């Protein structure tokens, strides 16, 4: 059930929700979808449509009332979060405030922080990959918001799980910084080819790195398909209503997308 850490890189695997239903107070959700292996899917939709719930179900923070959560073909619906082949980056609180950058990343290798020399080297390497060389000993409060999310991504590298879930981790960053972070994610994806699901409210983000888009509405997946289909005039009606007249500007700003790594 658990993923192994000794393989060099975990290639992405499919994530599928098979008749998953879940209720949350008055609201109920129903998900039926398959996310292709090794692709980046942008999860979009109005507030309360179930984007975070979808990710929480896959990560194991919520348990479905019925249905299966298939990751690589295996039902993980009742497995605890740490036993799933999944890493997740939240909008905030990705780091333990009292632990150094190094320790926070090292937790990705050993939850009890028993690290050997090889593990330490891997931590240094991962931090270098996200551009934080030399900040190993810092505490999270000594870092900027963007740097903190980079630490979280370094830990994702170290955990090396085939599925990466991003729950608006860059929402509170400025536009330029957000683009940098998205490019970092795209770069990591290019190396590891994991399956990435990322929640975002910004069509630009979806357009920048999303290969597919899943559009959620009223607790269900209303549409799913290649990103390009969504952003041209033939996109689903609900999606067009959701992004409003920004569709045009996104299409007009395609030159940004071409900067993709």
Binding site for other proteins (CB under 8 A): 23-26, 59-61, 63, 65, 78, 80-83, 87-88, 90, 93-99, 107-108, 111-113, 159
Phi, psi of 173 (to 5 degrees): -95, 155
Beta carbon nearer to other proteins, 93 or 144: 93
Other CB atoms closer than 10 Å to residue 61's CB: what's the count? Answer: 14
Quote the CA–CA distance of 227 and 230 in Å, as a whole number. 5
Query: In the bound complex, what is the minimum distance in angstroms from residue 154's beta carbon to other proteins?
Result: 13
Q: Which residue has the tokens 């090889």?
A: 118
Nearer to other proteins, 83 or 128 (CB): 83
Closest CA to 49 of 261, 238, 248, 189: 238
Taking the complex as a whole, the smallest distance from the CB of residue 175 to other proteins amounts, in Å, to: 27
Q: Which of 190, 120, 195 is nearest to 158 (CA)?
A: 120
Nearer CB in complex with other proteins: 51/207:
51
Residue nearer to other proteins on the CB measure, 192 or 207: 192
Task: Return the number of the residue (59 or 243) whose C-beta is nearest other proteins.
Answer: 59
Q: Which is nearer to other proteins, 78 or 144 (CB)?
A: 78
Task: Determine the Cα–Cα distance for residues 112 and 107; give it in Å rounded to an integer.
Answer: 7
Buried b (16+ CB within 10 A) or exposed e, 81-93: eeebbbbbbbeee
Give me the helix-helix angle, 175-192 and 145-159, nearest 10°: 10
Distance between CA atoms of residues 211 and 30, nearest Å: 24
Q: Measured from the CB of residue 94, what is the shortest distance to other proteins in angstroms?
A: 7
Task: Look up residue 258 and give its two tokens.
Answer: 């071409």
> To the nearest whole angstrom, how small is the minimum distance from the Cβ of residue 150 to other proteins?
16
Min. distance of Cβ 59 from other proteins in angstroms? 7
Q: Whole-angstrom Cα distance, residue 247 to residue 193?
A: 29
Closest listed residue to residue 22, CA positions, set 52, 59, 66, 60: 66
**Least gap, CB of 63 to other proteins (angstroms):** 4
- Compute the least distance from the CB of residue 213 to other proteins, in Å: 25
Nearer to other proteins, 44 or 158 (CB): 158
């Amino acid at each position: 059930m658990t993923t192994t850490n000794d393989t060099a890189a975990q290639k992405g695997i499919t994530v599928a929700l098979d008749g998953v239903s879940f209720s949350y107070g008055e609201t109920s959700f129903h998900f039926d979808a398959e996310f292709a292996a090794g692709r980046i899917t942008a999860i979009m939709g109005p507030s309360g449509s179930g984007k975070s719930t979808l990710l929480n179900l896959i990560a194991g923070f919520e348990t479905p009332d019925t249905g299966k959560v298939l990751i690589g073909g295996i039902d993980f619906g009742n497995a605890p979060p740490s036993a799933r082949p999944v890493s997740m980056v939240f909008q905030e609180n990705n780091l333990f405030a009292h632990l150094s950058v190094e320790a926070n990343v090292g937790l990705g290798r050993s939850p009890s922080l028993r690290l050997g020399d090889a593990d330490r080297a891997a931590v240094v390497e991962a931090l270098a990959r996200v551009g934080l060389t030399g900040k190993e000993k810092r505490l999270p409060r000594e870092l900027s918001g963007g740097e903190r999310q980079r630490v979280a991504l370094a830990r994702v590298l170290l955990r090396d799980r085939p599925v990466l879930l991003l729950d608006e981790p860059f929402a509170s960053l400025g536009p330029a910084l957000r683009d940098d972070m998205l490019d970092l994610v795209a770069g990591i994806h290019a190396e590891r080819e994991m399956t990435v699901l990322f929640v975002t409210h910004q069509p630009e983000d979806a357009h920048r790195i999303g290969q597919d888009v899943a559009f959620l509405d009223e607790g269900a997946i209303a549409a799913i398909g290649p990103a390009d289909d969504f952003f041209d005039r033939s996109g689903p009606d609900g999606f067009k209503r959701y992004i409003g007249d920004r569709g045009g500007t996104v299409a007009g700003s395609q030159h940004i997308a071409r900067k993709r790594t």
